[in-house]
Structure 1
Amino acid sequence: MDTPDADGLLAEQLLRLTRRVHRIQKRHLQSRGLGITPAQSRLLRTLAHYGSPPRMADLAERLEVVPRAVTTLVDGLEASGKVRRVPDPTNRRVIRIELTEDGGRTLRELHDARRAAAEDILAPLTEDQRAVLGELLDTLTEAGPPGAGSPTP
């Protein structure tokens, strides 16, 4: 009798959990009527972490997507008034992306929706189990790409 591939089973469990997380987050986003896709949500959260408005190329690099994907996301968010394109003060040919006041409000709503989704997802776990899960996830996310060696502090 073949023994199950433990790593393969874990990988499948992680994929199923990822899909479940996306479904639950999408449901919470839709229930709040924000009209934001998960990809747009990710761009807004990323944008909020910059001290000054980034270039679209900076966003593409941080999001690990092609620049064209960022353009599409920014177009939709700009049309809904969540972000705006502004010229770089030192180089008028460079366009930067900044959060609008409405975008800031939406970001706060997104934070609340993500927190509610996390509560749904983590509800079956005890506090101790959540702590262990957090440590395990930290280990996995800090490991870096395969063959990269130890993460840098």
Structure 2
Amino acid sequence: MDVSEAIRVNRALNKMSKLYRAAKARELAALGLHPGQDVLLWILAQEPEGMTVSQLAARLGIEPPTVTRSLARLETGGWFRRESVPTDRRRVRIVVTDAGHRLVPAIEHAWARLADQTLGPATAHEREITLTALENANDRLRGLVGEVALTEE
């Protein structure tokens, strides 16, 4: 790849990342969420028995203190509760409440709306090509940074 094409790729990906995050922030603000909180709550909602902070951090590919801070910001929404782990009272499991479960369809709808707005009038075939290219690029980048595939993305 020549330098001019590399610059074009760099600019396009950086700009898309910033714009997508800003658009996602607007979508989620209507739900009382910030980017990242949606994924955290969605993943928790997939686990009926809940998850410990360490398990959630591992699933998200982030550090436990980051999860703890995110949970503290989410706590006022009443979307989850903390329960002691029966086998180890020192550990706490985070469990989504009914209110949190009711929010999940709205999160998924916001994601779908944003994805549709992002890809616009592309045909199903064009969308598949775009998604395949992006997924392949993500896989290559994960290899470069030594990250395992994350399930929420």
Q: Give the structure-2-normalised TM-score.
A: 0.83
1:68 aligned onto 2:69: no
Q: Deviations over 1:31-64 (max 9, x none)?
A: xx32111121121122234353111012122222
CA distance in 1, matches of 2:74, 2:145: 37
CA distance in 1, matches of 2:83, 2:7: 47
Q: Deviations over 1:3-41 (max 9, x none)?
A: 6432332122112111121122222222xx321111211
Paired residue secondary structure (1:93): strand
Gapped regions of structure 2 (runs ≥ 5): none
Q: How far did residue 91 of structure 1 move?
A: 1.3
CA distance in 1, matches of 2:130, 2:107: 23
Aligned residues: 145
Which residue is equivalent to 1:138?
135
Task: Note closer, same or farther for the CA distance 1:147–1:99 as it changes in structure 2 (3 Å cut).
Answer: closer
Note the 1:1-153 alignment, pairs <5 A.
4-30=3-29, 33-50=30-47, 52-143=49-140, 144-146=142-144
CA distance in 1, matches of 2:139, 2:45: 22
Gapped regions of structure 1 (runs ≥ 5): none
Structure whose CA Rg is larger: 1
Of 101-110 and 53-62, deviating more is 53-62
Greater percentage in strand: 2
Q: CA RMSD in A?
A: 2.1
Q: How far did residue 141 of structure 1 move?
A: 2.6
